[in-house]
Structure 1
Amino acid sequence: MDEWFRPALDFITRVIEVGGIAIIVLGILGASVAVLWQVLRGRPGSEAFGLYRSNLGRAILLGLEFLVAADIINTVAIEPTLQSLLILGGIVLIRTFLSFSLEVEIEGRWPWERHKEETDVSSQRSA
């Protein structure tokens, strides 16, 4: 079983990494085309730029999720050493910081403030 298991996990990890990179690259291209289309259709530059940043941030977040998943598979299943575990911990910390930063950039608020705002809106509707 070990003869094929490790090469299979290596392959799966590489596929997930390539998927994450592809998501980021395609997200950049898609967001760029979308913002050009919006500007050509007459949308003000500031609105188009805000849309561009939101779309770009979402693509980066999704791509990072794939890259972290590949790192987790690599660390847990392929190379379970203390050094690789520490590296994974650092990557997850950096990714979490980036995720929070991008969330604030996209939404304009902290992720935990979304629930508070939804509760305020629903209570205003019922009043």
Structure 2
Amino acid sequence: MHSKILSAVPRLVNLTSWRSCAQFTIPTRKAVPKDETLEVKRARLLYQSKKRGILENGILLGNFFSAYGSQLSPDQLATYDDLVNGGYPEWDLYYWICGLRPVPEEIKSDVLQMITVFVQGFRKKM
């Protein structure tokens, strides 16, 4: 009886084939209503800034958005939304906003520069 159960279990034949099957996907972005008001967008982004995948980003992005979210223009809000909800790995975001790794050209923006300056000042206070 046990032999039938064990024969149904897939076996790892060689490590290279296992590695080629290992895939990690980044969750896709949830749909946002097109008629979302600026007030609702700011509230959503504040929540999403504070509730990140890692505590460090929650603290840094949450404090940044609490301080400057109300001052961002609609275009800047869209850029910020794309940055924090664009599917970038949390640690990459952390390294970029802390200036610890070079920022890819496709995400460089005035908003990212504002966040980086804010984070540098925030880290000096600590």
TM norm structure 2 = 0.33
Q: Name which one, 1 or 2, has greater alpha-carbon Rg.
A: 2
TM norm structure 1 = 0.33
Highest RCO, 1 vs 2 (Cα 8 Å, sep ≥ 6): 1
